[in-house]
Structure 1
Amino acid sequence: MINRSLILVMACLLSLSVNAANYSIGTGGQSGIYYPFGGALAKVWSENVPEVNAKAEVTAASVENTIKVVRGDMIAGIAMGNVVLDAYNGQGKFPAKMPVNTLFALYPNLVHTLTLEKSGINSLADLKGKRISLGAPGSGTAVTSAALLESIGIDVKKDIKAVYLNYSETTNALANGQIDAGFIVGGQGVGAVTQVALTHKIKILSITADESKAFIEANPAYSAYSIPADVYNNVGAVSTLSVWNVLVVNANMSDDMAYNLTKSAYEHIGDIRKVVKMAEMTTPENAARLQGVPLHPGAKKYLDSISK
């Protein structure tokens, strides 16, 4: 006869296992940095937060991740700061204010405006009339690229032939001559750009000081950034824009959950850095890099506890 106590213990364990399996982290395409970062974070959380068994989910990135976090479909999502700021304020792609907070900032995304060396395209203004990939639908890249072009007077619906492709699709289309240029807004050394630079002579367009200043005034989540020479094969230094990526969560997440997720991430950040070099910038000092969107109270409680 089976011991009733044993049955109860097994039932409890099964219940905990089922509950812990219902979490995902919104990332992006597999050729960017979001996906490996999310995978490494999911592993840390699964191993160190008892009630969480997380997995990385491939998505169209920032906008989709933010929406799914708000709907309760994801425990967290990686997103560009400008998208999360729009969600919090009910602007851009978001018709109303969304209940979003951040756990912490991750690393800065950089605007890569890619073309081939032989294209004859030397500035943002030269993109007018060209076939341009603005990024995957529902991505932060698509939001940023459209806003940047609009800021210099290029109407993305009238003045260019716009297509919406993810990182790898953009570089493949560029290499095959299907587009003239494309935007990738990703971390320094992003894989898709690194790979195409090894097989083709590419150019990353610089953003002038005046263009940068005008854009930042209208989009305060961004700042100027210089990509050093030789980050990508045979590409010199590039003046561009940066925006911090953050981990976005639903503002209604419990304080205990937010505290435990933040604590485990920082205590095991070394494991994440083994997978994603950009995680070197994921530090408590950088946690509140995105101004205008509050840290979740549970995350802030942990950060306050280690700053004393």
Structure 2
Amino acid sequence: MMSRLVQKGMVSLCLAVTLLFSHLSLADSYTIGTGSQSGTYYPLGGMLATVWSDNIPDFDMRAEVTAASVENVIKVALHKQLVGIAMENVVLQAHEGHKPFPKPMDVSVLFALYPNVVQFIVPADSDITSIKQLKGKKVSLGAAGSGTRVSSINILKALGISESDVDGQALNYSATTSALANGQIDAGVIVGSLKVGAITELALTRDIRILSFTPEELAEISAAYPYYERIDAPTGIYKNVKAFSAPAVWNVLVVNKDMDDEMAYELTKVAFENINKIRANIGLAEISDSEEIHQLTAFPLHPGTKKFVDEYTKSHPNTQTM
């Protein structure tokens, strides 16, 4: 019979081995910061996590629900997330240390994803027909810590409307559409892809309109914030919603600037090798491809991404580069 001393020793050894393997497992387990489950960030982040986990050896990732852009940038800068999805304007503000960030964030961009459209929604029978009529109204500007809130405030400011000019509500996507459906707010802002789930679902049960920006308003916004571009949505993009024009800003994947170059290269390479699969699974045709990485010109790409771009450009000499 084994002595108690030997038994204790074996138990201690087993515990040590278990802890060692647990540590090694955790070392290769990562998260990607997304947004609310009713937006586009969450399913896209989940699909990217799956593609990377399936195609990169000893790599495991899961999608994390967050308040979106601002929170994702901060967590990436603090090494609490490996990757985060964010709007380009938010990343620029983070890089420069402008509000809502207390100081410059140590982040870099992996690659551009797709344009995010700033959509101001009102009930179909509302007497609000223009953005400037939102003064004095109860408006959901987006959740605290979200890129939606940053964009909605920036755009109102560009059009001469300060945050204090509206009765601003800090609601996420789901709370915004619920409040609109129940008549608790006059308007709500959702910044997401065209056909974003939150608006699609709302339009199935309520008659809504999306305010269309005039060419003059879009020019004012572009003059104040050059990273916004015009997007024209056709009639029927949502049920019974007429065509509208709105500003849009590119979404990007953000990583810590100290990320290993080889990891950044591998993440970029695997993502673009599987880009058609990603598009098909989340129904987002606007996701960029290898020839569109140059779309993001206002922010430096991670050196690992640059390595992938250089390789791709050499094998596709007609590709436009940054």
- Range class of TM-score, shorter chain: over 0.9
1:262 aligns with 2:263: no
Give the match for residue 292 of structure 1.
Answer: 298
Q: Which residue of 2 aligns with 1:20?
A: 28
SS at structure 2 position matched to 1:287: helix
Alpha-carbon spacing, 1:256–1:279, altered in 2? closer, same or farther (3 Å): farther
Bigger Rg over Cα: 2
Report the Cα offset of residue 279 of structure 1: 5.3
- Give 3-state SS (helix, strand or coil) of 2:171's partner: coil
- CA drift of 1:214 comes to 1.1
Aligned partners of 2:209, 2:228: CA distance in 1, in Å? 22
The offset of 1:221, in angstroms, is 1.3
Aligned residue for 1:104? 111
Match for 1:253 among 241, 244, 259?
259
CA pair 173-10 structure 1, distance change in 2 beyond 3 A? closer
Give TM-score, length-normalised by structure 1.
Answer: 0.93
Shift >6 Å, 4+ stretches: 9-13
1:15-164 equivalences under 5 Å are 16-21=24-29, 23-157=30-164, 159-164=165-170
Alpha-carbon distance, 1:17 to partner: 2.3
| 1:175 alignment counterpart | 181
Q: Which moved more, 1:245-254 or 1:210-219?
A: 210-219
> Is the contact made by 1:79 and 1:140 (CA closer than 8 Å) also made in structure 2?
yes
**Alpha-carbon contact 1:288-1:295 (below 8 Å) kept:** no
Q: 1:241 offset after TM fit, Å?
A: 0.5
| SS in structure 2 of the partner of residue 275 of structure 1 | helix
* Runs of 5+ consecutive residues of structure 2 not aligned to the other structure: 1-9, 11-16, 315-322
What RMSD over aligned residues (CA atoms) do the two structures have, in Å? 2.2
Q: Is the 8 A contact 1:106 1:279 kept in 2?
A: no
Percentage of matched positions with identical amino acids = 52
1:241 aligned to which of 241, 247, 260: 247
**Partner Cα distance (1:24, 1:145) in 2:** 27
Q: CA offsets per residue over residues 280-304 of structure 1, 9 Å max, x none?
A: 5221122232222111001110121
C-alpha contact 2:69 2:90 (8 A) present in aligned 1: yes
Residue 214 in 1 paired to residue 220 in 2? Answer: yes
Letter aligned with residue 135 of structure 1 = G
1:14 Cα shift?
A: 5.5
Amino acid of the structure 2 residue aligned with 1:17 = S
Q: Which amino acid aligns with 1:88?
A: H
Decide whether the 8 Å contact of 1:89 with 1:96 is kept in 2: yes
Deviations 1:54-73 (A, max 9, x none): 10000000010001000000
SS at match of 1:196: helix
Equivalent-residue separation in structure 2 for 1:15 and 1:147 (angstroms): 44
Q: Deviations over 1:147-201 (max 9, x none)?
A: 11122222222x2111011111101100100001000010010011111111111
* Map of 1:5 onto structure 2: none
Residues 119 and 259 from structure 1, CA distance in 2 versus in 1: closer, same or farther, beyond 3 angstroms?
same
Q: Match for 1:180: what amino acid?
A: D
Q: How many angstroms does 1:95 deviate by?
A: 3.5
Match of 1:91, as an amino acid? H
**Number of residue equivalences:** 303
Matching residue's letter, 2:52: W
Q: In 2, distance between residues paired with 1:271 and 1:194?
A: 23
What is the aligned partner in structure 1 of residue 6 from structure 2?
none
Aligned AA for 1:149?
A: L
Deviation, structure 1 residue 92: 2.9
CA shift at 1:47, angstroms?
1.4
Q: Once the 2 structures are TM-superposed, how far is the Cα of residue 118 of structure 1 from its aligned partner?
A: 0.9
- For residue 5 of structure 2, what is the aligned residue in structure 1? none
2:279/2:287 contact within 8 Å kept: no
**Partner of 2:154: helix, strand, or coil?**
helix
SS across alignment from 1:298 = helix
Distance 1:172 1:154 in 2: 25
Task: Give the structure-2-normalised TM-score.
Answer: 0.89
Q: Which residue is 1:271 aligned to?
A: 277
Report the CA distance shift for 1:174/1:11 in structure 2 as closer, same or farther (over 3 A): closer
Structure 1: runs of 5+ lacking an equivalent: 3-8
Q: Give the Cα–Cα distance (whole angstroms) in 1 for the partners of residues 298 and 112 of structure 2.
A: 13
Displacement of 1:254 in angstroms is 0.6
Per-residue deviation, 1:13: 6.3
